Structure formats: structure tokens, C-alpha cells
Amino acid sequence: MSRQVNFSFFCVQPIELSPVLYRELITKKINLKDVGPISEKQDFKSKWLYQYTNIYDTYEDLFEYSLEGNTDHLIQFLHEHHTENMIGDLLDLGKFYSKSEVTLLFDPRFIYFVLVYQIEFSFPFEELLSFLDFNETYDNTKNTDPYNVLRKTIVRESKNSEISVWGDEIQQKSLEKAKNVLEHFFSTVSISTDHLHILPNTCNITNFVFMDNLNQNRNFVDKLISLNLFAERITAEKLLEPLYNNTVYFSFNGRFHTIVYQNQQDKYRFYPLQFHIQFIWFLIERALD
């Protein structure tokens, strides 16, 4: 059996509540006594949340709701990008799709929602290494590298741009679920999905990659980081120096980040960090607007 390398793409996508709705909600008393069937708070299904709350109480007040879409639509979208571009011809993401998990998180303390996506792939090492040897002079204006293809799956560049059928299905379900949750916790307030929005260009993507020996695989890691930088939209964001020690390689860039780790606990240490970074950036961007 050939050696496999897993990519786990992690993305946090905040849901904006309209100012009118938010102002009304913060003046109301939230119903936390009888959460009933609306709650899925007992044990978090997302492993990073479960692992983290066993150590810290940071997320213990969150409510988690699982969302499912038709993965055939996701795989079809990935296949289509494989057939229409040169760099994609070298690596068909649809062929190596492994699994996906999407959860909607609600924090009743501050009344906010976020969608958390985890999309995973499993690649034969030699095939992936061959792909990473691509010619870096390739014109990537169509954003056909794996990072950007994943982004196109769930992130709109503008209000009217399209995403995958799978991503649209998930997002519509999330808005309806958020509406139902608010109606339960704030029964005296009239809620409409028109007050809930997933804005364009929200959801930076982090690729978590397990590598059992970073030092021995440094050549592979360097090529993977080059792919991340190749995917970035703004040149200035390609100049950040990755953070490296013997167990973790952390490349923090613009739209895309890559974390290569050799200890499993590091994965669950960096998930919350990326969660907060993406959510705080969303809040800052809204404030600057």
C-alpha cells in the first residue's frame, strides 16, 4: 500500500446579522432554560471542539448543529475544475476526496453564528510530490490551484458570483437553521432569513497536513508552502516568513494558510487559533467598512 498524505482544509465563515436585528436581539432576554431539541450541546461532534473543551472552557457555551449537503455535488464540482485547466489536470481533487464535515456554531453570549467547514483529501505521496513539482511560471490568473478551487467551492468573490451547488446548499441550510435557532432563543422577536447574510470574501482557508517527520520531509514541506504562496492573490502577502520548529511548520499568508505538523495534539492546538483569527478578521473588516 502506497504512502498517503492527508489534506484537511479548515474554514470559518461568519454569518452577519443585520444591524436592525442585532440591536433588537441585544435588548431582549434570551431563553436558556428550555433549550430542548434545538440544542446539540452535550458532546461536541467536531473533534477539535471536543478535544479543546476537555482542556479549556473557552467554547463550552457554544451550541453546535451539524449540516449536510449532497457530497456528489461537491465531488462533481471538483472534477469539473480538474478537466478545465492545466494545473488541475495534474491533480483531480474529486478523485482524492475523502470526507467533509460542516457545523453551524452559535454563541448565545454574544449572539453570533459561524459556519465551520472541514474538507479532507487523501493523496498518494508520490503523486502529490509530482504535482508539487509544477512549473511556477504557470499563469494562475484563473485560480485553478487546489487552494483556490476549494475557495470557489464555498466563497463568493462578489455578491452575484457563483459557488458550488454543494456550497450553496450548505449555506442556505445554515441560514434557515440560524433563523430557527434565533426563533427558539428569542421567541418574542420576528426573524427572517433576510436579516442573515453570508458576505462575499469571508472564509480564509487553512490546510492542515500531518507529516510524521518534518525534518526528513523538508523538501516536500517547502514545495507545499510554495503552492500556498502560488495561490495567493496579492503579491505582498507572499512575503511573510513561515514559522518553523522541529514539529510544526506554520505558513500564515493572506487568503490561505498551511500548517504542517507531526504531533496530533498540535492540530487541535492550532484549530482554535485559526478559528479566532478568521472570526476576529471578519469583525475588524466590518468595523472598517
What is the structure's pLDDT at 230?
83
Q: Tens digit of pLDDT for each residue in 206-239?
A: 999 999 888 888 889 988 988 888 888 776 555 5
pLDDT at 166 over 90: yes
pTM: 0.88
Q: DSSP label at 104?
A: E
Q: Is 224 helix (H, G, I), strand (E, B) or coil?
A: helix
What is the structure's pLDDT at 89?
54
Q: How confident is the model at residue 140 (pLDDT cuts 50, 70, 90)?
A: low
DSSP assignments along 125-163, one per residue: HHHHHHHTT--TTS--TT--SHHHHHHHHH--SSTT---
Nearest by Cα to 104 from 45, 178, 51: 178
d(C-alpha 82, C-alpha 89), whole Å = 5
For residue 288, which phi and psi values (nearest 5 degrees)? -70, -30
Nearest by Cα to 171 from 188, 156, 183, 158: 156
d(C-alpha 225, C-alpha 65), whole Å = 33
Mean pLDDT, residues 253-262: 90
pLDDT at 112 over 60: yes
Q: Is 245 helix (H, G, I), strand (E, B) or coil?
A: coil
Tell me the three cell numbers of residue 72.
456528489
Q: DSSP label at 37?
A: G
Q: How confident is the model at residue 202 (pLDDT cuts 50, 70, 90)?
A: confident
Mean pLDDT, residues 45-49: 75
What is the structure's pLDDT at 70?
95
Q: How confident is the model at residue 37 (pLDDT cuts 50, 70, 90)?
A: very low
Q: Answer positive or negative: Cα dihedral of 29, 33, 34, 39.
A: positive
Q: Is 248 helix (H, G, I), strand (E, B) or coil?
A: strand
Q: Tens digit of pLDDT for each residue in 60-101?
A: 678 889 999 999 999 999 988 765 544 545 678 999 999 999
